[in-house]
Structure 1
């Protein structure tokens, strides 16, 4: 962050300063970001659900506050470290969506619970319930995590959920709030109908688990889950009363490739970009830019070339520091220093590579925001 401020502070407010960035650089379009936040907030309100966006996407206190100002009840965090950063920034309602189990982490969780208004964490194991209860000095809200079939986290059956409910009830310093089920593998099914069928199947299972909990007096107050890839489907099914959507704020190539809403156009805009420059252009139709493996997460494939190149230009990774852009007609001749704008393939891990967001409006740098929770993997 210090280097970014030193390099770019003088550009803030200067017309067309985006063209003067040291590259590669992570850029947020403030206006597109605001529109994405507003659209999701309005959709959630229309369907009567609470919005608790996932901060693992942006890792930013500044963006979290924009989401809360637009109506979000709080934020989700995948890791305790992310939650600590948001709490330091003034966020008072946080759900940690992965179990917290190590002894040092449990002590930190208890300390965090002491200093914010509304903290909750998911559990999926009786031993974890007992460990939590043994360290807490103030009552903590807990939700039962339900495995949707991923076998990553979550109780594996309705019977296991009931057993966990009973364990929570035995502890006076644990408050049972509800359940979580996040269908991660279904989020990126490209075809809308196929994705809808997969989610309907999982929601039917969720309802059987909830029914068993209700039979034991454990009707959940909160039923949280849902993601950017399924929120239109989840809105129609009505099973969740809280949405954990994350990537909608930025969009990325993975979600842009999906039919999110069964509509002709994608309902959200790219608002996150990597700006790069041409550093070598010795072959007509090809150029090398200064953004390679260190500039993008690679699990989602290649980034999308949006500007600074002919339509249809494709990107290829060419090492840690470099990427190749190729004109499909092999005619374009680039000039050294030409700017190229790219949409990221997978936003969450790409953001984790950078210290800060360069926030632009039009072509002007207006702010620099820290990626405050970068690297907070525990």
Structure 2
């Protein structure tokens, strides 16, 4: 664990706010994620990283890391220009010009796969591929949510919820001369993205843990049936993708899965503190500056209100990290221009001192900063530009 005094000394003289990545903690998270993958190939999720230099660092850390799960067609094109290959675009693309550019990349031999979950997606891609005179590979996104009486446990993504619907789409792709089936993706968001150790929610944690275990059994069966169906329909698959950082321990055990996805776990934002089955290290964070002291135990910082995406709730707020014992005020939270923090610890705090924060999720942090300061062995060893620092804004 890092200490406030250590980081304060490392970043002395650096104007605040700033974001950083502790490379030593990142290396340990990389090691843990590789170990939990059980020998399966790991596709890194760019949505959670948004930094070319760090993505390359992870890729070079272990041969298990191969390929990227992108969140935007334009982002995939951008990464292709920077030497990345085997780019799976995790969300459907409908913009004709973007599809045309991807078609031209496919003509040049780039490995770029588009996501589909409906006949309409296939038709759009087919039209673009026909204009470019190329065959474009696609991946079918199958819904893996769990439906129990009165509850949809999962996220609303793909409409493909039955084998019959999957079979119909596979047959449509098989009949096309311009679209080729490359893979299946089944993202069990209700397992990978939901914590089951939330503070002060004992009953809910018990229910979520039970739902996750039940869902894992059902996901395993549905995924195996989908892969079997592809074989029966004469559709060989290059990959079967599943999971996320929060579900590696279950997804990697499935024989049908050829690769797992991981992204947020490399930075280990605050929401990853609330999972029962694993512990990662807080490798990324940001610092805000104390500019007011309205009371003996209150320190008001400039800015800092970097809220995570998803449904609104206290768990989406950033968390004071160091000094230990600092906390947000329930009625004020983290603000756009100021964030008050309550602290009654032993560290002497003055105007101009930093409060180190952790973002609730991973990717959005890099949309706030143009660079990440890189720390190792108690000193700044470099910096890495984020997508924003590269002048990019994809979504």
Q: Same fold (TM over 0.5)?
A: yes
Instruction: Give the aligned partner of residue 146 of structure 1.
Output: 142
Question: SS of 2:169's equivalent?
Answer: helix
Tell me how far apart the structure 1 counterparts of residues 195 and 225 of structure 2 sit (CA, whole Å). 24
Q: Please, what TM-score do these two structures have when normalized by structure 1?
A: 0.85
1:156 aligned to 156, 161, 183, which one? 161
What corresponds to 2:99 in structure 1?
Answer: 106
Aligned to 2:137, the other structure's residue is in SS state strand
Give the match's secondary structure for 2:268: coil
1:258 pairs with 2:254: no
In structure 2, distance between residues paired with 1:353 and 1:216: 47
Q: 1:324 aligns with which of 340, 353, 362?
A: 340
TM-score, normalised to structure 2, is 0.82
User: What is the alpha-carbon distance in structure 2 between the residues aligned to residue 363 and residue 290 of structure 1?
Assistant: 26
**Cα deviation 1:267-292 (Å, max 9, x = unaligned):** x2111101122111131111111233
Work out the number of aligned pairs and report it. 352
Which residue does 1:358 correspond to in 2?
373
Q: Indicate if the aligned counterparts of 2:227 and 2:256 stay in contact, CA closer than 8 A.
A: no
Tell me how far apart the structure 2 counterparts of residues 350 and 364 of structure 1 sit (CA, whole Å): 22
1:369 aligns with 2:380: no
Paired residue for 2:320, among 305, 309, 312? 305
Spell out, residue by residue over 1:299-328, the C-alpha distance to the aligned partner (whole angstroms, 9 max, x if none).
5423232223xx33212425212111112x
**Does structure 1 conserve the Cα–Cα contact (< 8 Å) formed by 2:366 and 2:387?**
no
Cα distance, 1:223–1:204 mapped onto 2, change above 3 Å: same
Aligned-pair distance for 1:195? 2.4
Q: Distance in 1 between matches of 2:49 and 2:365?
A: 10
User: What residue ranges of structure 1 are gaps of 5+ in the alignment?
Assistant: 1-14
Question: What whole-Å deviation, never above 9, does each CA across 1:316-343 have from its counterpart, x for those lacking one?
Answer: 425212111112x589763101222122
Compared CA separation, residues 116 and 39, structure 1 to 2 (3 A): farther
Contact 2:195-2:272 at 8 Å conserved across structures: no
Q: Pick the aligned partner of 1:56 from 13, 31, 47.
A: 47
Go from structure 1 to structure 2 and tell me whether the alpha carbon gap of 1:158 and 1:320 turns closer, same or farther (over 3 Å shift).
Answer: same
Question: CA shift at 1:28, angstroms?
Answer: 0.8
5+ residue gaps, structure 2, are: 1-7, 146-154, 197-204
Q: Decide whether aligned partners of structure 1 residues 259 and 283 sit closer, same or farther in structure 2, where only a CA change above 3 A counts.
A: same
Q: Is the 1:189–1:195 contact (alpha carbons within 8 Å) kept by the matching residues of 2?
A: no
**Which one of the candidate residues 254, 266, 288 is aligned to 1:249?**
266
Per-residue CA shift, 1:50-70, capped at 9, x if unaligned?
A: 111111111121122122212
User: Is this contact kept in 2: 1:354–1:371, CA < 8 A?
Assistant: yes
**1:343 and 2:343 correspond:** no
Instruction: Tell me if structure 1 keeps the 8 A contact 2:96–2:128.
Output: no
Aligned partner of 2:128 in structure 1 is 135
Q: CA deviation at 1:227?
A: 0.4
How well do the aligned residues superpose, as a CA RMSD in angstroms?
Answer: 2.4
CA distance in 2, matches of 1:86, 1:313: 39
Matched residue of 1:19: which SS? Answer: coil
Which residue is equivalent to 2:26? 33
